Amino acid sequence: MSKVEVGTTLEHKAQIVDGRLVISLSIATLAHAARGSDYFTGCAAIGMPLVITDEAVFAESVRLRLNCEQEDGSTPVTRMLDEAFESVSEWGDDGVEEAGERGQ
């Protein structure tokens, strides 16, 4: 099992690359985020701490769950994007506006 060393920069980013939105994070960052998540800390608080035994295998399990479709075809990724779309619109970020603002 690999661990994040003290002073190590946790790698994560969302960027546009070759016309694609690419969201990436290192396996170490994924494991670190999981260990600090509300779910992991909640389990520890009730006396059922979770331990990641293999970060690479854990990352593959997370990848599979991120792509797991519900009956409506949605996945955790599409639901995350839906939340981001709403946030962009609600905060008036660049690239989107109400149709009435353009005279449509």
Instruction: Report the distance separating Cα 28 and Cα 30, nearest Å.
Output: 5
Asked if pLDDT for residue 10 goes beyond 80, the answer is no
Query: Cα–Cα distance between 100 and 104 in angstroms, integer?
Result: 5
Residue 63 near residue 55 (C-beta atoms within 8 A): no
C-beta separation of 54 from 1 below 8 A? yes
pLDDT tens, residue by residue, 84-102: 999 999 999 999 998 886 6
pTM for this entry? 0.78
